[in-house]
Structure 1
Amino acid sequence: MTFDLQHLIAFNAIVASGSLGRAADALNVTQPALSRTIRRLEEQAGAPLFERHSKGMQLTDVGRALHPHAVLLQRESEHANEDIKAMLGLAKGTIRVGAVGSIACLVLPLAIGATCEKWPNLQVQIIEGVWDRLANALVSHEIDLALGVDIEDTDEIVAVKDCRWEDTSYVVAGRRHPLRKKPKLKLADTLSERWAILPKGTGPFEHMKQVFARQNLALPNVVVETRSVTALKSLIGRSGFLGWMPEPMYDAERKAGLIDALEIPGSSDRRTLTAFRRRAGMLPGPAIKLLEALRSMTAK
């Protein structure tokens, strides 16, 4: 069967709002007209898509099965329309990208700068977060590219194999931290210091944990866990905390004389980074342009 795109858009609006009335307002149509549209879609599907309740509308099993396909078809249509208008000079394309903190601090801004210089009509929407946030945004079509630590592909998300690069993470501290005066500093000397780091379960925390485990050391004294990169940098640079960061994340603070790595033998470690996309569907044109810039940068 071939579904009408406008019917699917109406279906998605009801799912998003949970109410026929709110969906009708969002689509700027009357409730009776929206009801007729959904009835036609249900007739085409051969089964009810919603259960009607006094407090709203809930998906049936058939509705739940249809929903991800309806979202994909709507998004692909929007991307196609946007790409064509951008090519014709009628509208600006939009790059929708997400990145973990270290990439958002350096690599992504450089890639966006190069892309927008070459394609000045493009606009950019960025989200920053740990991987679980980025993965959800990628699957839900909030973003089209996610930049993070290389992991195994899933049923929904795959890595862009020809866009990979590496960075190195270090134990970092403020430039005036007392440990800088200690001769022959060892990783064990950091155990009793106050640490601030991204939360347990995130890539940086697990990376730091592996470095300590390789030297048969317990975890250090983690006092602060936060997803805020800004808070981490302030705690490390101004409040005497130690942290674990990839070099691009604190590049600006290093140049400003606020944060730098501690010189501890065997305490640094490299990791591989890459771009990810949805397995299903085509990558929108604006995202392809950013990906080209990333490939050019990371190939050097």
Structure 2
Amino acid sequence: MTLDGRQLSAFLAVVTHGSLGRAAEMLHITQPALSRIIKRLETQVGAPLFERNAKGMLLTAIGQALLPRATLMQREAEHAMEEINALRGLAKGTIKVGSIGSVASHILPLAVDRVLTRWPNLRVHIIEGVWDRLAEALIRHEIDLALGVAMPMPESEEIATITDCRWEDSSYVVASLTHPLRQQRKSTLADTLHHRWATMPEGTAPFEEMRHMFRSHGLPLPSVAVETRSIVVLKNLVANAGFLSWMSQPMYEAESKAGLIDSLTIPGVAASRSLTAFRRREGILPGPAARLLEELRHITSGPPRKRSGSSVE
């Protein structure tokens, strides 16, 4: 069975809009013309793809089976045209990437700058979030690359690790430069239990790192007063409201240079982790995303960067 681009566009438009009328309007064709395209596709498949009822066009079981393949085929066709345009010197397209906060704070902006310097006609769409959000976006084709923590678990059937793009960062207990703990000559991790904490929610990688750190020191978890997935909120709670938190160093590097946030000097309290890039297992990596990946490889293959701010050794 061979599906042409027009049939794919028609099928996916009906799925997206739920009716022939709205889909035809989006495709700028008449409803009878769209109905004929769908009918020819159903004849070619050999079974109905939609159930037509008062609620609109609903996918049949056969339609459900076709949907992911049709989506992938359309994406691949779009990516092929992007590659052809690039080879003709007409490089256009969108880099669709998702990133955890620490990578979005430093490594990703550097890579984006380098890509757009070389390919100024490209555009970039960035989603920032924790891993569960990034994995969902990758599977749903909302992004083509995800940048996050290299997880010591089997790869999924849908997502693969890009093993030759890997780097390290470290996380610390952070506080404002005016926090009372900085007045002590020597602070311990136990001292932080008596102060307010703001963290990422339980189940996220930063929270689990923090949990492991306290357990490894034989301590209970601190009393977390605020949980948020917003990095902006988290950093402002630390800088302006006296909270403690657990963050990777790249996430607060700008605030450290500005004299707002820095790590607390607590011997032995730090955690290193590996970060990497992920992609969908099936299909080719789109040209724009491949260019970003190339720059990420160059940046992360260099010598480790020295962290600024106070020492926690």
Which interval holds the TM-score relative to the shorter structure?
A: over 0.9
Structure 1 residues 237-258: Cα deviation after superposition (integer angstroms, max 9, x where no partner): 1110111100000000000000
The correspondence of residues 72-221 of structure 1 with structure 2, limited to 5 A, is 72-90=72-90, 92-151=92-151, 152=153, 153-221=155-223
Deviation at 1:91, TM superposition (A): 5.1
2:100–2:131 contact (8 Å) kept in structure 1: yes
| Helix, strand or coil at the partner of 2:194 | coil
Match of 1:226 in 2: 228
The correspondence of residues 261-300 of structure 1 with structure 2, limited to 5 A, is 261-300=263-302
Match of 1:260 in 2: 262
1:86–1:93 contact (8 Å) kept in structure 2: no
Counterpart code for 1:123: R
Counterpart code for 1:16: T
Segments of 5+ residues of structure 1 without an aligned counterpart are none
2:106–2:251 contact (8 Å) kept in structure 1: yes
Looking at structure 2, the residues matched to 266 and 43 of structure 1 have their Cα atoms a distance apart, in angstroms, of: 68
Deviation at 1:70, TM superposition (A): 0.5
Deviation at 1:83, TM superposition (A): 2.0
2:91–2:119 contact (8 Å) kept in structure 1: no
| Helix, strand or coil at the partner of 1:199 | coil
Deviation at 1:286, TM superposition (A): 1.4
| Helix, strand or coil at the partner of 1:191 | helix
Looking at structure 1, the residues matched to 26 and 221 of structure 2 have their Cα atoms a distance apart, in angstroms, of: 51
Deviation at 1:114, TM superposition (A): 1.6
2:206–2:247 contact (8 Å) kept in structure 1: yes
Looking at structure 2, the residues matched to 190 and 269 of structure 1 have their Cα atoms a distance apart, in angstroms, of: 17
Structure 1 residues 178-202: Cα deviation after superposition (integer angstroms, max 9, x where no partner): 0111232111111231111111111
Q: What's the C-alpha RMSD, in Å, of the aligned pairs?
A: 1.3
1:145–1:277 contact (8 Å) kept in structure 2: yes
Are 1:28 and 2:28 an aligned pair?
yes
Looking at structure 1, the residues matched to 78 and 275 of structure 2 have their Cα atoms a distance apart, in angstroms, of: 29
Match of 2:245 in 1: 243
Segments of 5+ residues of structure 2 without an aligned counterpart are 303-313
Looking at structure 2, the residues matched to 137 and 7 of structure 1 have their Cα atoms a distance apart, in angstroms, of: 25
Deviation at 1:284, TM superposition (A): 1.1
Match of 1:65 in 2: 65
Structure 1 residues 5-51: Cα deviation after superposition (integer angstroms, max 9, x where no partner): 21111111111122222211111111111111111111111111111
2:91–2:122 contact (8 Å) kept in structure 1: no
Looking at structure 2, the residues matched to 280 and 126 of structure 1 have their Cα atoms a distance apart, in angstroms, of: 21
Deviation at 1:86, TM superposition (A): 3.0
Counterpart code for 1:63: G
| Helix, strand or coil at the partner of 2:170 | strand
Match of 2:44 in 1: 44
Counterpart code for 1:198: M
| Helix, strand or coil at the partner of 2:15 | helix
Counterpart code for 2:113: G
1:237–1:258 contact (8 Å) kept in structure 2: yes
**Could you state the TM-score of these two structures normalised by the residue count of structure 2?**
0.93
Looking at structure 1, the residues matched to 10 and 230 of structure 2 have their Cα atoms a distance apart, in angstroms, of: 37
Match of 1:7 in 2: 7
Deviation at 1:232, TM superposition (A): 0.6
Looking at structure 1, the residues matched to 242 and 58 of structure 2 have their Cα atoms a distance apart, in angstroms, of: 52
**Could you state the TM-score of these two structures normalised by the residue count of structure 1?**
0.96
Structure 1 residues 106-165: Cα deviation after superposition (integer angstroms, max 9, x where no partner): 000011112222223322111111111111111111111110011242111101000000
Structure 1 residues 265-300: Cα deviation after superposition (integer angstroms, max 9, x where no partner): 222101110000110000111111111111111111
Match of 1:18 in 2: 18
Runs of 4+ in 1 over 6 A off after TM superposition: none
